[in-house]
Structure 1
């Protein structure tokens, strides 16, 4: 049975684009055979909607989830490189979703959009749903771009945006974990290849600076999309008490992570307020069910995480590298 946007399951809410939903006639039908039979249709639906929920299929646990990636993308999952958030490996290249405290929101963002190379396709698998909330909200970044004030958009298109990361001991992901090495020369080589300025600090820490585009074109449709981490990494997007605490310790340029215009000038808080509002206005959410598989076009839809209670266990994988 095919579910249209007018027949979405209970638990969906929001004013943005509703992802495509597919479920089988017989509950528990093997997902791999379904993907093989309907792959072209599913990829077309993903390109139109930006996200696709496969519900009611037999997945076969984490091993089966790895098989979903291979069946849909035609390649193995990607390794998680240049990390900005804590994750744990479940098996192979399948990871936990971000290991943040369950009472904290993770704001809408596009995976690895601060990097020179990013995954085109994201996969989420519900191993264990939360007791309450814990959704993975989605926002169509075509809609986000359309809602941004033209002057704000022009400023970012003209100046670009800059991400500065400071790897301080005891704050955030250590540089050894972020770059999967303890070899400083290897880190410098990695950064040079990916247009990142790396600076080793007198205290042994590392500062990286990268200037990126804010607006990209989708590689298949050619549509313009708001694809960046300028809002997500900005200090004002943190919980107020967290941002204030960090600013009491560090200058803005020394924060563990912060963003600026591409020329290094500060992004006004009223601009990031406006950008957060445009993301939220495009957001849609749904309640997870066990064995749900969510496929996301990373260059069409941003994703987030609600606070939650209960055991919530969502596996994540990435595939199909793309670059500017």
Structure 2
């Protein structure tokens, strides 16, 4: 997937451009999956917040049920995932493990990397078509996919940060409302189990899309040295995250390798420039992050909550 680029005349205010062209831009986003607005006058983080309101017609969403470390820049504008610069972040659809997810994502380049650091994109319609039909059918037949998250004390994102509260009763109430099974461990940790659909229907086009975190969170998608280190510390059932078929059965490693290849085959990239704004249809495009050198600061915002039609 290549983001459709719109390049401005120097000094063109991005909010004016969106206001004048919103209907066309939204139509193109729903067809192509990603828009790159380049060369516009954005106005910093405050202006970026205004981009979300101009395009989506609403304020950005808060980052709930967190799965990765982020820092708040201002309001509901966050840093992209705060992982070390030498680590790749594999392709995924934002919050596809949740009962409600953002339909539209926004990225703003405050400071580009010196080298690499792209936000690669993959058309998940193409990913769906690249997956062996027998693999797709098995996920559907076995109830979708399942993620098990283990929140360990002093390791990874703590449950208090993930759920935005230190009250176990509030966590349990949240989980009941979102179809999540919560189990408190003897050591004070928390295990959650969530089952979601692997294949969704895009609400605009009606196309089938491969919308899930089954590949992203599978232990074999980690770098080999990270896999080895985690498995030295934890048995598989206690790994910080791992994925299964919806019925709880193990997903074969070769199946996950096939899924990773499907994402890779559909991936394109571009190099960030300062003040770039990238708008992504989260149900058409998966995104990731390349390793990088240099400062690289990308702001992220989310908007337009979406859920399965039956929910």
How far has the Cα of 1:28 moved from its partner?
Answer: 2.2
1:261-280 correspondence runs (5 A): 261-280=245-264
C-alpha separation between the residues in 2 aligned to 1:241 and 1:28? 47
- The residue number in structure 1 matching 2:18 is 35
User: Is it true that 1:313 corresponds to 2:297 in the alignment?
Assistant: yes
Tell me the TM-score normalised to structure 1 length: 0.94
Matches within 5 A, 1:224-239: 224-239=208-223
- Alpha-carbon distance, 1:321 to partner: 0.2
Confirm whether residue 126 of structure 1 aligns to residue 109 of structure 2: yes
Match of 1:216 in 2: 200
Partner of 1:69: 52
SS in 2 for 1:43: helix
Unaligned runs of 5+ in 1: 1-16
What is the match of residue 61 of structure 2?
A: 78
| Number of aligned positions between the proteins | 307
Partner of 2:32: 49
Partner of 1:8: none
**What is the alpha-carbon distance in structure 2 between the residues aligned to residue 153 and residue 171 of structure 1?**
34
Hey, what's the Cα distance between the residues in 2 that align with 1:171 and 1:49?
39
Counterparts in 2 of 1:1-324, with a 5 A limit? 17-24=1-8, 26-159=9-142, 160-324=144-308
Aligned equivalents of 1:273 and 1:256: distance in 2?
Answer: 20
Classify the secondary structure of the residue corresponding to 2:303: strand
- 2:268 and 2:298 map into 1 onto residues whose CA distance is 18
Q: What is the aligned partner in structure 2 of residue 6 from structure 1?
A: none
Distance in 2, matches of 1:114 and 1:172, equals 18
Q: Which runs of 5+ in 2 are unaligned?
A: none
Measure the CA separation in 1 of the matches of 2:11 and 2:238.
51
Deviations 1:100-151 (A, max 9, x none): 0000000000000000000000000000000000000000000000000011
Tell me the alpha carbon deviations over residues 68-121 of structure 1, each in whole angstroms, 9 at most, x when there is no partner: 000000000000000000000000000000000000000000000000000000
Report Cα offsets for 1:6-59 as digits up to 9, x if no partner: xxxxxxxxxxx32211112x2120000000000000001101110000000000
Per-residue deviation at 1:276? 0.3
1:158 to partner: Cα distance: 1.1
Could you say what secondary structure the match of 1:120 adopts?
strand
TM-score by length of 2: 0.98
Report the alpha carbon displacement of residue 223 of structure 1 after superposing the two structures with TM. Answer: 0.7
Tell me how far apart the structure 1 counterparts of residues 228 and 250 of structure 2 sit (CA, whole Å). 17
Q: Secondary structure at the match of 1:108?
A: strand
Alpha-carbon distance between aligned partners in 1 of 2:2 and 2:101, rounded to the nearest angstrom: 24
How far apart, CA to CA, are the structure 2 residues paired with 1:200 and 1:275? 32
- CA distance in 1: counterparts of 2:105 and 2:86, whole angstroms: 24
Shift of 1:185: 0.3
Aligned to 1:13: none
